[in-house]
């Protein structure tokens, strides 16, 4: 058996305690923000995941020194040599992640030009970058798309502008923030994403000297400044990893204490967890305990949405738990057109799940008139049986682990390397919870 395969002996509940660290969807962006400063920055609570290694590699390539700080999980980023960097093998980062696109604004400010190789990220839909390119052009950047990647130039200092996004995209909102803070004049961003990770990135930028106002109507106003310094920041805890372990506790009938989890970023998830029949207990400043209180779980209707709605990344792990609920659950995925494909493997394990092209559950979404199977009806409870599982994407991959842990028999899960993109040391955490797994 190769290292990328895990044998999972299912059928026993997870019990115990694990710790979550800084959010995968904040940390690489906060690292990129350091490129905007003229002094070193210190980021704390950095998880050891491959998305952080990718961000580290990219920043080092552009002349930022990235080294461990005094404490575990602390990283010190020094951007003082960016102007002297000789960027030769940026191609080695092609296709690895979607982080490189966020280097555009900072590099244009510092160097007046940028090359961004072809992008990767999870295959959960088309994942275009049209919004990103549109906003960069609005700031005055020249963008040329070639097969090997994007060539960008800023002949003059980028200028603040008025932007209204067609959809509250997380990445594009980050793009605007990282570009506008050093642009000349005021930028007004309408229909912005306001995920907790974005608010944390704004906190990072404010520490560096940026002036950013967030209104309650998805409008963000940024007043450009001439110079930014460094920051010292503790990354917010990973609410997506937390929810994954919570769903693992529920699906296996277990009891998991997630040290480091924070209630305020997870209120929508916690409401749904309770409606399904899960129990939780918040320990302020310490963590959250999640458990299955016994009895049967409840089927629910669920729609994913941008924050403060139910986060799309919570959907896949929760669907596994919903296979154990009594009755019909309806899940409408409105953020990605192709994030339900992973359910095919659950069906092979014995779950009853049907996918539909229609928007089930009431609210029509962007995918309703198109040919995407983005709604699911799950009929439970199902007795899951072990299977051979091939991981399709990050969250789908963790969900397969949950399914294998909840199933009878021994499953083989192939492609576990993908899980390291977003879950630090997950094999040790599984062991700490009593999971019977072998590599
Ligand atoms: N979109 C466009 N054009 C664009 C950009 C986005 O059409 O130029 C569409 C996307 O195709 C998608 C929707 O807008 O349908 C939302 O995409 P968004 O830009 O919000 O997502 P992202 O920035 O690419 C981040 C996270 C995702 C998370 C989403 C939504 C990172 C590195 N990734 O992606 O995380 O699902 O926001 O919250 O921060 C994960 O952690 O597993 C993951 C996929």
pLDDT at residue 388 greater than cutoff 90: yes
Mean pLDDT (the chain, rounded): 95
Percent of the chain with pLDDT over 90: 89
Looking at residue 218, its pLDDT comes to 98
- Helices marked H in 310-376 — which ranges? 312-322, 343-348
Please choose from 20, 23, 24, 25 the residue to mutate so as to test ligand 1's pocket, defined by most ligand atoms within 8 A of CB: 25
Distances (CA, A) of 177 to 214, 253, 308: 11, 42, 20
Given a cut of 60, whether residue 1 has pLDDT beyond it is no
**pLDDT tens per residue, range 246-304:** 999 999 999 999 999 999 999 999 999 999 999 999 999 999 999 999 999 999 999 99
Q: What is the pTM of this model?
A: 0.96
Q: Which of 29, 49, 169, 392 to mutate to test the pocket of ligand 1 (most atoms within 8 A of CB)?
A: 169
Torsion of CA 55, 57, 59, 62, to 10 degrees: -150
The 10 Å Cβ neighbour count of residue 147 is 5
CA-proximal residue: ligand 1, atom 32 (nearest): 25
Residues 361-376: tens digit of each pLDDT: 878 999 987 889 999 9
Q: Please say if the pLDDT value at position 88 is more than 70.
A: no
pLDDT above 50: residue 236: yes
* Residue 230: Cβ within 10 Å count: 21
* Cα–Cα distance measured from residue 402 to residue 412, given in angstroms and rounded to the nearest whole number: 12
Mean pLDDT computed over 17-46: 98
Closest alpha carbon to 37 in 313, 288, 235, 233: 233
DSSP-derived letter for residue 419 is G
- Residues having CB closer than 6 A to ligand 1 are 24-25, 98, 122, 125-132, 167, 169-172, 193, 195, 240, 312-313, 335-336, 394-395, 422
- In three-state secondary structure terms, 109 is helix
Confidence of residue 95 (pLDDT cuts 50, 70, 90): low
Say if residues 242 and 259 touch (Cβ distance below 8 Å): no
Q: Pick the more confident residue, 118 or 5.
A: 5
Those residues whose C-beta lies under 8 Å from the C-beta of residue 317, and which sit 6 or more positions away, are: 243, 244, 246, 247, 248, 395, 398, 399, 402
Cis peptide before 104 (omega within 30 of 0): no
Q: Which residues of 208-219 are buried (b: 16+ CB within 10 A; e: fewer)?
A: bbbebebeeebe
Q: How far apart are CA 439 and CA 428, in angstroms?
A: 12
Contact between 185 and 160 under an 8 Å Cβ cutoff? The reply is: yes
């Amino acid at each position: 058996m190769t290292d990328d395969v895990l044998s999972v002996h299912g059928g026993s509940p997870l019990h115990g305690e694990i710790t979550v660290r800084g959010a995968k969807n904040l940390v690489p962006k906060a690292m990129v923000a350091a490129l905007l400063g003229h002094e070193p920055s210190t980021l704390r609570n950095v998880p050891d995941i491959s998305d952080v290694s990718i961000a580290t590699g990219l920043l080092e390539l552009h002349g930022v020194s990235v080294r461990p700080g005094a404490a575990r999980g602390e990283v010190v980023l020094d951007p003082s040599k960016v102007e002297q960097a000789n960027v030769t093998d940026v191609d080695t980062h092609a296709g690895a992640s979607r982080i490189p696109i966020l280097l555009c604004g900072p590099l244009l400010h510092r160097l007046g030009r940028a090359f961004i190789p072809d992008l990767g990220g999870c295959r959960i839909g088309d994942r275009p970058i049209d919004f990103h390119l549109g906003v960069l052009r609005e700031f005055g950047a020249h963008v040329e798309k070639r097969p090997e990647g994007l060539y960008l130039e800023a002949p003059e200092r980028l200028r603040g502008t008025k932007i209204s996004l067609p959809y509250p995209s997380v990445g594009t909102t980050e793009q605007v923030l990282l570009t506008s803070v050093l642009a000349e004049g005021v930028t007004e961003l309408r229909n912005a994403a306001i995920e907790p990770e974005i608010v944390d990135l704004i906190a990072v930028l404010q520490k560096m000297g940026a002036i950013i106002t967030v209104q309650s109507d998805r409008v963000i106003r940024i007043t450009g400044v001439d110079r930014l310094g460094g920051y010292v920041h503790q990354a917010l805890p990973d609410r997506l990893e937390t929810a994954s372990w919570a769903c693992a506790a529920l699906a296996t009938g277990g009891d998991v204490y997630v040290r480091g989890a924070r209630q305020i970023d997870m209120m929508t998830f916690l409401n749904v967890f309770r409606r399904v029949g899960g129990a939780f207990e918040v320990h302020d400043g310490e963590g959250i305990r999640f458990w299955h209180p016994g009895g049967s779980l409840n089927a629910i209707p669920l729609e994913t949405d941008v924050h403060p709605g139910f986060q799309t990344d919570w959907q896949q792990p929760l669907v596994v738990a919903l296979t154990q609920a009594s009755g019909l659950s309806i899940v409408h995925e409105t953020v990605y057109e192709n994030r339900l494909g992973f359910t095919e493997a659950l069906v092979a394990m014995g779950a009853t799940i049907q996918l539909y092209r229609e928007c089930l559950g009431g609210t029509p979404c962007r995918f309703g008139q198109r040919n995407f199977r983005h709604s699911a009806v799950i009929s439970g409870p199902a007795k899951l049986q072990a299977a051979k599982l091939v991981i399709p994407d990050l969250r789908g991959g963790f969900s397969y682990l949950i399914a294998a842990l909840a199933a009878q028999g021994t499953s083989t899960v192939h492609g576990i390397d993908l899980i390291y993109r977003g879950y630090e040391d997950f094999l040790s955490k599984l062991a700490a919870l009593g999971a019977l797994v072998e590599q």
